[in-house]
Amino acid sequence: MNPVEPFRRRPVAGTDFQVTQLGFGGGTLGDPDEVTDNAQADATLATAFEAGVGYFDTAPWYGNTKSEHRVGHYLRARPRDSYTLRAFSSSAWAVRWRGGLSFDLRFDYTADGITRSYEDSLQRLGINGVDALTIHDLDFKHQKNEQGVQRGFEQLDAGGGFATLKALKNSGEIHAIGAGVNHVGMIPRFLEHFDMDYFLVAMPYTLLDQSALDDELPLCQHRGVSVIIGAVFASGILATGGRPGSLYGYQPADARTIEKVNRVDAVCRRHATPLAAAALQFPLAHSQVVSVIPGANSPTQVQQNLRHMVHPIPDELWTELKQEGLLRADAPTPG
């Protein structure tokens, strides 16, 4: 087993954008499932920053701008060279966030939409620049159908959205351009049209699902594109374990998923490893994965993530998961 270095900085593709292997996902600071106060949000961010986390991820979608307000409130008082910050360009559905602010959002991937989203984010953060911008939610779930997805790509291309992002990068105002991906099939589509620096992948590459190994990750490897893993706990179940009410894919997990998680958990227990530790460390074994960004909404959760990130995991655990058919045989594993 090789120790994981949570705060080791890794470059994204061929850019000046660097991320710590353990980052901070700001989605939970948008209060998706429970309402937390600002003091708790500040304490959560302080615990991560003071421990050494140097990469923070936020978006106006998270809590309808609530996460950006909170992340900016904390980080703007810290030295700008002590962290990297990923913001985003565009999303809707105000009812998604239990404690979100009372704003409605809309999709707009045109040059004007990208510019407004970027400038509004800087105002909310109270910080005069971010290191990278990510195109969010250009997929079938959020755009409803093929026509909606095609319209989004047309806005990025003919509508000048991607050219605007490229101009920001060329000027040095940002260092990298990425896209958020929740489903397989979208990475090839993005790379068919645009030169991307990274993808923020949520769900298709976790301890439960390695479907991104078929086409997405090999293509990223071939094109030299980096990958950041969001939803590393599969939206909850790989942190809580399989039990009634556990969330998988942002919905209550079905019986089959709960049974599989419990089998994985049993293997982890046999090797004295917390399930969450295996979930956190697994993705980083892939050559293109530069960071994992678990969310947290309390100092305790940040501290748990830090412990799990450095927990020693024997090679035999990964071997047994593959032998039991719980992990793909071709999945790269730590160590």
Domain ranges in the chain?
9-323
Q: What pLDDT shows up at residue 90?
A: 55
Q: What pLDDT shows up at residue 91?
A: 46
Q: What pLDDT shows up at residue 89?
A: 62
Closest CA to 221 of 210, 212, 230: 212
10-residue mean pLDDT series, the chain (335 residues): 88 96 96 94 98 96 93 96 82 64 83 96 95 93 91 97 98 97 95 97 96 98 97 95 90 95 98 98 98 96 97 98 98 94
Q: What pLDDT shows up at residue 140?
A: 86
Whether 82 contacts 44, CB under 8 Å: no
Q: What pLDDT shows up at residue 4?
A: 87
| Distances from the Cα of 200 to the Cα of 67, 121, 286, 311, 314, angstroms | 17, 18, 14, 25, 28
Q: Longest C-alpha distance within the chain, in Å?
A: 55
Tokens of 4: 């994981």
CATH architecture of structural domain 9-323: Alpha-Beta Barrel (3.20)
Q: Please state whether the predicted TM-score (pTM) of the whole model is above 0.85.
A: yes
